Every structure is written in structure tokens, then in C-alpha cells.
């Protein structure tokens, strides 16, 4: 399985920045934003504010992974 990294510009904290993520993480981020009824930009801003000394792309990957991991664990109980 080959995953393609896609670079997109996002607005966070009033500035535009580029984020490189695999397409699966962009898809997961969109699903979370839709479920939370927030824009993708607002969700990225939240992740950006809460990250701890890691780059934004890594913070987004961890956020998406953690979100779906906990959702899966809660569904198995």
C-alpha cells in the first residue's frame, strides 16, 4: 500500500502555513471536523494551540490517530 503525501495551505492563528499529510490523514481530519461541526481551519487552529513541541503535521497525525483509536475503543466496550 502506497500513501501519497499531500501538501496544503491552512490558515491558523491568522497566518497561512503549509502542512504535508498523507491523504488518509486529510480524510480523517475532514471526518472529525464534520462530526464536530467545525471548519477544517478551526480544527487545525485547535490542534496548533494544543501541540507540545512537535511540528504541526505530526500534531495533526497524532490528533487524528488518537481520535479514531479512542472512538474504536469506546465502540468495543
Question: pTM for the full model?
Answer: 0.87
Contacts of 62 (CB under 8 A, 6+ apart): 54
Domain region containing 11:
5-75
Distances (CA, A) of 16 to 13, 39, 41, 50, 76: 8, 15, 10, 18, 39
Residue 1 pLDDT: 62
Residue 77 pLDDT: 41
Query: One digit per residue, pLDDT tens: the chain, 77 residues?
Result: 667 899 999 988 888 999 999 999 999 999 999 999 999 999 999 999 999 889 999 999 999 999 999 887 777 54
Specify the number of domains making up the chain: 1
Residue 9 pLDDT: 93
Residue 67 pLDDT: 95
Amino acid at each position: 500500500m502506497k500513501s501519497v503525501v499531500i501538501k496544503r495551505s491552512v490558515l491558523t492563528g491568522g497566518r497561512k502555513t503549509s502542512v504535508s499529510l498523507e491523504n488518509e490523514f486529510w480524510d480523517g481530519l475532514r471526518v472529525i471536523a464534520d462530526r464536530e461541526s467545525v471548519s477544517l481551519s478551526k480544527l487545525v487552529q485547535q490542534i496548533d494551540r494544543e501541540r507540545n513541541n512537535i511540528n504541526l503535521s505530526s500534531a495533526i497525525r497524532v490528533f487524528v490517530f488518537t481520535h479514531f483509536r479512542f472512538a474504536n475503543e469506546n465502540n468495543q466496550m
